[in-house]
Amino acid sequence: MKKYFTILVLTIATLTLVTGCSTTDTTTTSTTATTSTSTTTQTSTTTETSTTSSTTTSTIQPGGVEYYPHSEGASWQYLVTVTSTTGAVYEFTYYQTFEGTTTVGQTTVQKLPNSLDSDQGQLIEVSDGYVKSYGTIGSPTIETSLILNFPLTLGASWITLYGDVYGTTLEVKVDSFESLTVPAGTFECFKIMRSLAPKFGVPPAYVWYGANVGMVKTSSPILSESGGTDQSSEVSFTVTGTMTYELINKNF
């Protein structure tokens, strides 16, 4: 049976390498999302290309919880671009907003529904030391996954399991600090790389976070996954396209 993912998310309805849902934390944890291009509309619109520039290492301050704003009612709007390996391009806008809390096990978590499927919105716990996902609103889990591990410093990394794929892990690494321009403006960002093991032959996903902004951009391959449902089932991945999220607006 095949399933489609991005190896990204944020925290978002199409991020698995970016976030990494329903994963058990081996050092700290991450979140996941299935991708469906059937909800998108094909377009010929030309989109603005993001630009980046690096920052001198000695001027970079460690990043903390300010890189993941999470106040009640905080909302973000993104331009999502899906490019298939056949060359087809789809674009749509995507919203996510912190709305209310719930309890998973003994932990109170925040709900982050999105405009595509509220049940696929993440359940998020934020502390001074980390950002964790407790699965989705429609499928909560006590097996947390680590989205961010504070403080963010260049070269810092951690290992987490990858979604519900048996025994598969991904490495999350603070890759660089750079200036990034998206439709919402220009932001100084930590760039987070999320990678499956080299044996899978899958390119990494990236997420950019800005202080007092949150997720500014994601870029990830879209993966078709086969197998990996139990110990005897070998998993394999096929890249079927790429997906990016670029910040258009926020309400704070």
Residue 9 lies in a domain: no
Residue 179 lies in a domain: yes
- Reading phi first (left if > 0) and then psi (alpha if -120 to 50, else beta), residue 29 is in beta
pLDDT digits (tens, 9 = 90+) for 182-203: 999 999 999 999 998 878 889 9
- pLDDT of 95: 97
Structure tokens at 16: 């698995």
pLDDT digits (tens, 9 = 90+) for 51-102: 766 665 667 999 999 999 999 999 999 999 999 999 999 999 999 999 999 9
Residue 58 lies in a domain: no
Residue 113 lies in a domain: yes
The CATH code of the domain that includes 221 is 2.40.360
Q: Are 39 and 92 in contact (CB under 8 A)?
A: yes
In terms of residue numbers, what domain contains 93? Answer: 75-251
The number of distinct structural domains making up the chain is 1
**pTM: predicted TM-score of the whole model, two decimal places:** 0.80
- pLDDT of 101: 98
Residue 91 lies in a domain: yes
Phi, psi of 199 (to 5 degrees): -60, -20
Residue 19 lies in a domain: no
Residue 237 lies in a domain: yes
Say which residue, 173 or 39, is predicted with more confidence. Answer: 173
